[in-house]
Structure 1
Amino acid sequence: MNIVFSHSTIPSFNLSAEEYLFKKTGKNFLFLYKNDPSVIIGSNQAVMNEVDIDYCIDNNITIIRRMSGGGAVYHDDGNINYSFIQDKTGAPLSAQFLEPIIEVLHSMEIPVEVGKRKDIWLEGYKISGTASHVSKGRELHHGTLLYHSDLIKLQNALTSKQKDITKKATPSVPSPVINIHTYLFNKNGDVP
């Protein structure tokens, strides 16, 4: 597997790079990146249903659509984003690629578990949302890890004042969230 780390924090660049890697048939990638403050919405979502557009404009939070489905997520420099990309094998991609993420977190003595939507939970709080995309013999599974994200901005950006403007769009499923950093600080008192 080829590991690619982006030094850019520009959301449009990183999502374009992810799509470029997705189109590189015959190669497997783990793509790691961080973004400037941004809301990334699923391919079948209505922005006005998911996002407080005025708040995002006032706080310089970019809004961008990704190629996968799923719910809206917030990115900033306290958030680690990962994408597993490969030729389609037939096995359920999300289950296959959540295993190493779970193993790493368990090795850090963080008691996470996989939720019913293939997300990652820590003691009743979501720390990672995931989404998948399959096309032309390729598959992508990507997700976020909330390490030290600004949860107030996350909450405000992802709380639309205009719910249900479009009924045909895929709605997000809001969940309580926590940063991994907060959990480690509460547990150990000292965190990198």
Structure 2
Amino acid sequence: MYFIPNENLDPTLNLAMEQYILSGLNLDEEILFFFIDRPSIIVGRHQNTIDEINLDYVKAQDIQVVRRLSGGGSVYHDLGNLCFSFILPFPNQPVPDFSSFTEPVIRALRTMGVPAEKSGRNDILVEGAKISGNAYYHNKFGTVCHGTLLFNTDLTVLARALNPKPEKLSAKGVQSVRSRVTNLNGYLPGIKTTVEFRERLLSEIARDAKTIELSDADLANAEGIADERYRNPLWTFGTSPKYTLKRTRRFPIGEIELRIEVRDNIIRDVVFFGDFFTSQEIDPIVDALRGSELETGALTAALRSIDWKAWFPTIQEEDFAAFVAQGD
């Protein structure tokens, strides 16, 4: 394993460095990468940004908003939150299960005296409260799986900045974001800062890792990625698609919301939103749905014309077709 140190606090550059480490360094082993961000909201790849944030509050508090490459839901970062990233430059390996990445963190926390446990598809809890959410993306260079660790985050700001849908909170059995999360510092009285926490976690997870530094040229390449993607308002906020139908359902892989433009009972366009995970770009699904009749049989045939299971292996084509056609 390699470890790449990092003291940068800019969320756009941290996401760009993570992307560049995967695509540009040509390393032959797993890489561990930590980062701490100044106050920011990091929205999931497929989410409708405006729906996920309290925009007036975010602007008033000067909280930066950035879209990441991975799926999943929106998260709040500040100087009390530690982000960890396991980067696997192995494009031909299947996407690992979340447990492959959360278990080392859970073991480390338990060694430090924290009663951490995995919950659901991608969370880590302590005594029933969430301290970590995880997400991943996979491309032709390999896989990135990254997560948060709430050490001493301002949970009041977190609760006011995020705007989760009521049905998501209901599915978690809680009434608010604030009641669902907690910080780790109360369980680690001997650790005073997020940086100290990072160093202790590093010693537990990767004490034998080989340290490599990003060069000036590497950082310049990462800055270029940040400028092109993560600092681009169109990437983060997108555009408001025209639509005549809206469909929303929570599947086992997360919520999927569709904005569908229909004319003469033919799908002219469809846009996916949600906190779902998939290991491939969804453009081929959109291409398959365009031009289809808004009818379950026709949509099922359209989805079967592509390798549907490569995107959503736990959802049957006819079930998704009925969801698109009927919204149930």
The aligned residue for residue 133 of structure 1 is: 137
The answer to whether the 8 Å contact 1:42/1:70 transfers is yes
One of 137, 146, 154 as aligned partner of 2:150: 146
One of 169, 178, 182 as aligned partner of 2:186: 182
Quote the Cα distance in structure 2 between the aligned partners of 1:92 and 1:63: 28
The aligned residue for residue 22 of structure 1 is: 22
Identity, in percent, stands at 38
- Cα 1:184/1:7, change in 2 over 3 Å: closer
Equivalent position amino acid for 2:151 in 1: Y
What SS class does the counterpart of residue 72 from structure 2 fall into? coil
Deviation at 1:49, TM superposition (A): 1.1
Quote the Cα distance in structure 2 between the aligned partners of 1:29 and 1:124: 30
The aligned residue for residue 72 of structure 2 is: 70
Quote the Cα distance in structure 2 between the aligned partners of 1:51 and 1:132: 21
The aligned residue for residue 80 of structure 1 is: 82
Unaligned runs of 5+ in 1: 165-172
The structure whose RCO (Cα within 8 Å, separation 6+) is larger is 1
Quote the Cα distance in structure 1 between the aligned partners of 2:142 and 2:161: 32
Q: Is structure 2 residue 113 aligned with structure 1 residue 109?
A: yes
Greater gyration radius = 2
Quote the Cα distance in structure 1 between the aligned partners of 2:74 and 2:94: 27
1:134-155, Cα deviation, whole Å (9 max, x unpaired): 1115011000000000001111
1:66-105, Cα deviation, whole Å (9 max, x unpaired): 0000000000000000110111433624211212101110
Quote the Cα distance in structure 1 between the aligned partners of 2:13 and 2:107: 29
What SS class does the counterpart of residue 23 from structure 1 fall into? helix
The aligned residue for residue 52 of structure 2 is: 50
Unaligned runs of 5+ in 2: 167-171, 193-328
The answer to whether the 8 Å contact 1:93/1:139 transfers is no
The answer to whether the 8 Å contact 1:93/1:141 transfers is no
Quote the Cα distance in structure 1 between the aligned partners of 2:9 and 2:97: 26
Deviation at 1:183, TM superposition (A): 3.6
TM superposition outliers: structure 1 runs of 4+ over 4 Å: none
CA-based RMSD: 2.1
Normalised by the length of structure 1, the TM-score is 0.86
